């Protein structure tokens, strides 16, 4: 994955497609709107047995615990319709997701007051960091359904994070753990030159302004 990060940073961007005026306010700079749902990941797609799958909660909490998939499904479920924006320059509007809002899960976790950040741990050997404050937004979900159907394997089944106000690498697929932290530390892509926060409307793609992202990178990928 490190080699991919280096390659992406070195490829020069090309001119983006025009965005219709009526949706321009919803589309961050440098993005192209698509009906596709590109599939981007490194490594193999994990396979799971839901009878043994769990989500681990640890770090700055009163007591470490795990949730089974059924336990998460027993919590209040929320439907969220939102726009999503990938760092590889595609945006998909009005996507529909179902899952557990993080703010509904939080009261069950015993999070210590000193916790200010989270690290999302996911298969395969992936992690990404976020401020806890960002996780508290209404639209942030632990999502298990997309467009009326269970997530497909390649889109993160059985559960992925949805953080639509940030570039989509923060919405980790195949989540397995949430670590609460006193201090921030970078996740995988953040350690490899991608921006620590990742606001798409500020084009926070990389830590260096010298790096770019080609507009057509996502068009070379498999998609639904």
> How high is the pLDDT of residue 6?
60
This prediction's pTM? 0.86
Q: Where are the alpha helices (DSSP H) in the chain?
A: 2-10, 69-73, 102-105, 132-135, 188-191
Contact 177, 58 (CB under 8 A): yes
In order along the chain (224 residues), what is the average pLDDT of each group of 10 residues? Answer: 55 55 92 84 82 97 98 98 94 96 98 98 93 98 97 94 97 97 97 96 84 51 50
Report the length, in residues, of the chain: 224
> How high is the pLDDT of residue 211?
56
Q: Which residues is 143 bridged to in the sheet?
A: 99, 160
Domains contained in the chain, CATH given: 2-220 (3.90.420.10)
> How high is the pLDDT of residue 124?
79
Q: What does the alpha-carbon distance between residue 71 and residue 19 come to, in Å, rounded to a whole number? A: 42
69's CB contacts (< 8 A; 6+ apart) are: 50, 53, 54, 144, 158, 159
Structure tokens belonging to residue 183:
């201090």
CB atoms within 10 A of CB 29: 10
Q: What does the alpha-carbon distance between residue 89 and residue 81 come to, in Å, rounded to a whole number? A: 20
Strands 141-146 and 90-101, sheet pairing = antiparallel
Q: What does the alpha-carbon distance between residue 192 and residue 210 come to, in Å, rounded to a whole number? A: 14
């Amino acid at each position: 994955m490190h080699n991919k990060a280096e390659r992406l940073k070195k490829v020069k961007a090309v001119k983006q497609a025009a965005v219709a005026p009526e949706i321009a306010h919803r589309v961050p700079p440098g993005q192209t709107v698509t009906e596709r749902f590109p599939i981007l990941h490194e490594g193999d797609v994990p396979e799971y047995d839901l009878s043994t799958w769990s989500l681990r909660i640890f770090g700055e909490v009163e007591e470490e615990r795990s949730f089974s998939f059924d336990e998460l499904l027993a919590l209040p479920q929320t439907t969220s319709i939102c726009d999503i924006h990938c760092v590889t320059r595609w945006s998909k509007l009005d996507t529909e997701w179902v899952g557990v809002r993080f703010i509904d899960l939080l009261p069950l976790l015993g999070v210590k007051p000193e916790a200010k950040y989270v690290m999302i741990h996911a298969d395969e050997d992936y992690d990404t960091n976020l401020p806890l404050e960002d996780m508290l937004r209404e639209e942030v979900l632990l999502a298990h359904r997309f467009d009326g159907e269970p997530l497909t394997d390649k889109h993160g089944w059985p559960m992925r994070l949805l953080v639509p106000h940030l570039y989509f690498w923060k919405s980790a697929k195949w989540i397995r753990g949430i670590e609460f932290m006193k201090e921030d530390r970078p996740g995988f892509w953040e350690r490899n030159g991608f921006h620590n926060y990742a606001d798409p409307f500020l084009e926070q793609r990389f830590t260096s302004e010298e790096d770019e992202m080609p507009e057509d990178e996502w068009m070379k990928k498999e998609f639904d």
